[in-house]
Amino acid sequence: MVKIQKLPSGQLVVTIPKVLAQYEGLGKGAEVEFTKHEEGFLLKIKKEVSR
C-alpha cells in the first residue's frame, strides 16, 4: 500500500512498499517523477541513491 503524509512544513512524503523499493534498487532519498496516466500514475526513477 502506498501512503502519502503531509509534514508540518507542508511537504508531502510518499511511502512505497519495501519489497517494491528493493526490487527496483531504490534507497532513501531516491528521486522519482510522477506522470498522469489514464488509469492512475506512472513512476519514472530520476535519481537512484545508494542504500
Q: What is the pLDDT, as a whole number, of residue 14?
A: 87
Find the distance separating the first CA and the last CA of the chain, reported in whole Å: 21
* Cell, residue 27: 534507497
pLDDT in tens, 1-51: 889 999 999 999 888 899 988 898 888 888 889 899 998 989 888 876 655
* Residue span of the structural domain in which 28 resides: 3-47
What is the helix (H) or strand (E) element at residue 20, kind and residue range?
helix 18-24
CATH of the domain at 17: 2.10.260
Q: What is the pLDDT, as a whole number, of residue 28?
A: 84
Neighbours of 48 (CB within 10 A): 14
Q: What is the pLDDT, as a whole number, of residue 5?
A: 95
Q: 12-27 as b/e, with b when 16 or more CB fall inside 10 Å?
A: eeeeeeeeeeeeeebe
Within 8 A by CB and 6+ apart from 7, the residues are 13
Enter the pTM of the model.
0.61
The total domain count for the chain is 1
Q: What is the pLDDT, as a whole number, of residue 8?
A: 97
